[in-house]
Amino acid sequence: MATVEERVKEVTAHVLKVSPDEIKMEDSFTEDLGAESVQSIELVAMFEEEFGIEMDEDAALAVQTVGDAVEFIAKVCREQGVDVEQ
């Protein structure tokens, strides 16, 4: 199974139409990857779909970087009893 990081990058690449290889953990979704507010909504939706979790919108949308997203999603998975590869 792919790791949380790989899966987050895959979803991000799909939604923002960039190559997964170009995405770095320190990248900001908005400033480095060019996510607009509408795409942020889509990203949250796709992360929930990918991991089978429910995220608090405010907390999820406060996440700034890819690394933060990996950490946040891993935490939500733990809280909601979803097994993931770290």
Partner 1 sequence: MSARSFKAGLFLTEKGLLPMRLVLVDRVEQVRSCFYPLSLSRPIWELRCGMGTLKDKLLAVAGAGEAAYFVPGYMADAYRERVEGAVNDVSALRGDDLLVVDPRIRADDFDVAGTGPSEVGVDEKGEVVYARIAKGDAGRLDGSGIEAFMESAKAKLAKAACDLKRYKYSWDLILSNAEQITADFASAGRSGIEGVVEEPKAIRGSEKDIYVARGARVHPMVVIDAEHGPVHIDEGAEIHPFTRIEGPCYIGKGSILFGAKCREGNTIGPNCRVGGEVEESIIHGYSNKYHDGFLGHAYVGEWVNLGALTTNSDLKNDYSTVSVMLDGVRSVETGSTKVGSLIGDHTKTSIGTLFNTGSYVGGMAIIMATGKPLPKFIPSFAWFVEGVVTKGFGRKSLYDTARAAMGRRGCEWSAAEQAMWDGIFEITSAGRDRAVKRGRKAMLGR
Sites of contact with partner 1 (CB under 8 A): 37-38, 41-42, 44-46, 48-49, 56-58, 61
Q: Which is nearer to partner 1, 24 or 64 (CB)?
A: 64
DSSP secondary structure of 28-44: BTTTTT---HHHHHHHH
Environment class of 4 (CB within 10 Å of its CB; exposed 0-12, middle 13-18, buried 19+): buried
Q: How far is the CB of 23 from partner 1 (least distance, A)?
A: 19
Closest contact distance (angstroms) between CB of 64 and partner 1 is: 15
Q: Return the number of the residue (42 or 68) whose C-beta is nearest partner 1.
A: 42
